Amino acid sequence: MLTKAQEYRRMLTQGEFIVSPGVYDGYSARLVEAAGFSSAASSGAAVSNSILGIADIGVMGLNENLNHCRNIARSISIPLTCDADTGYGNAVNVYHTTRLFEEAGIAGINIEDQVSPKRCGHMSGKEVIPLDEMVKKIEAACLARRDDAFVIIARTDALAVEGLNATVERAKAYVAAGADLVFPDAVGSEVHIKMLVDSGIPLSVNMGFGIRKRPTTPLIPLADLRKWGVRRVSLPRMLPAAAIKAMTEALQVMKEAYEQGISVDRPDLLVGIEDIMKLMDYEGGRELECRLLPQDTLKAKYERSVAE
């Protein structure tokens, strides 16, 4: 049986077009798997936003991110790649960061070339480290992995800082250093995407669905990206944006009902408890109890009579 990293590597090796919705907790990860996607990707911004309640500005630390991603990975059977930010230091730190994420059951990680503290790729004020320093980080990540199936994704934010030519130069150097995919964040046009692919770079791009103003990266049909030769597309903002919108609407309905002194039931806004239990496999937990607990314990737990 293939490990999750080996399954992800198989998809890459066989040239599959990988679509990875961005996840940030057990609910979102299980929904992605239930919807039939073959992989998921943690959104560093969404994880930082959801567990710390602050902007993605490099405050989240290694252990916070690692432990959260470990729990997400163990909740699903499909491969999960994770955002490891800048690797939490220099090339030596990247070595240990890679080991820890691989040990956590992750299929691969993004390592980015921003100056620490990093920030969300669609924020202004980004800075990038020298090319040769990032090359060493990628080499460290490749050296650290115990299984060569573990995928190293080199993210570069150079487009916003140094321009397209420097980004192509960096991408080629990152591939030469061992990166399996290159993820140039905040790609500004279709032309840039095509130029990067035509340069022979195994490309991963983000599609930022959920931006009302003009997005930094234009929204492109996934079929077109596949046709152009893009290897992977991640959708980091889609599920957090959908969840926030749904929760906002539900809270507004409840607030208005309270203010009007009425009771309201809106099944169009909410799933039932049975849907939550199915998603989180409550039945599997019950089956495990039946398999592992003594019969007298089960009888006492589930068959006790309630006093009149």
* Ordered mean pLDDT values, 10 residues apiece, the chain (308 residues): 97 97 97 98 94 92 97 98 97 98 98 90 84 98 98 95 93 98 91 94 88 70 96 95 95 92 89 95 95 93 65
Q: Do residues 128 and 248 share a domain? A: no
In degrees, rounded to 5, the angle at the alpha carbon of residue 12 between the alpha carbons of residues 77 and 68 is 40
Q: Do residues 272 and 175 share a domain? A: no
Q: Do residues 100 and 184 share a domain? A: yes
Helices and strands, number each (H, E), in the chain: 13, 8
Of residues 50, 27, 22, the one with CA closest to residue 238: 22
Q: Do residues 14 and 119 share a domain? A: yes
How many Å apart are CA 211 and CA 232, to the nearest integer? 21
Q: Which of 201, 221, 240 is the last residue of a domain?
A: 240
Q: Which of 240, 259, 282 is the last residue of a domain?
A: 240
Q: Which of 225, 240, 255 is the last residue of a domain?
A: 240
Q: What is the CATH number of the domain that holds 215?
A: 3.20.20.60
The domain of 211 spans 4-240
Q: Do residues 209 and 252 share a domain? A: no
pLDDT value of residue 155:
97
- Indicate whether 115 belongs to any domain: yes
Q: Do residues 176 and 115 share a domain? A: yes
CB atoms within 10 A of CB 138: 26
Q: Do residues 154 and 180 share a domain? A: yes
Give long-range contacts, CB 8 A cutoff, 24+ apart: 93-101. 94/137, 94/140, 94/141, 94/144, 95/140, 95/141, 95/143, 95/144, 96/144, 97/62, 97/141, 98/140, 98/141, 98/144, 98/145, 98/150, 98/152, 99/144, 99/145, 99/146, 100/62, 100/66, 101/66, 101/69
Number of domains in the chain: 2
How many Å apart are CA 183 and CA 155, to the nearest integer? 4
pLDDT value of residue 40:
98
- Indicate whether 204 belongs to any domain: yes
Of residues 198, 236, 199, the one with CA closest to residue 217: 236
pLDDT value of residue 308:
43
How many Å apart are CA 114 and CA 183, to the nearest integer? 13
Radius of gyration (C-alpha) of the chain in whole angstroms: 22
- Indicate whether 308 belongs to any domain: no
Model pTM score: 0.92
- Indicate whether 304 belongs to any domain: no
- Indicate whether 306 belongs to any domain: no
Edge-to-edge strands, sheet with 108-112: 181-184, 151-156, 108-112, 80-83, 40-42, 18-23, 232-235, 204-206
H or E element, residue 221? none
Q: Do residues 261 and 140 share a domain? A: no
What CA dihedral angle connects 131, 133, 137 and 142, to 10 degrees? 70
Of residues 97, 125, 136, the one with CA closest to residue 186: 125
Running DSSP on this structure, what letter comes out for residue 160? G
- Indicate whether 307 belongs to any domain: no
Q: Do residues 227 and 94 share a domain? A: yes
Q: Do residues 220 and 283 share a domain? A: no
- Indicate whether 230 belongs to any domain: yes
Q: Do residues 113 and 252 share a domain? A: no
Length of the chain: 308
pLDDT value of residue 263:
87
What CA dihedral angle connects 217, 221, 225 and 231, to 10 degrees? 90
How many Å apart are CA 89 and CA 95, to the nearest integer? 10
- Indicate whether 305 belongs to any domain: no
Q: Do residues 137 and 270 share a domain? A: no
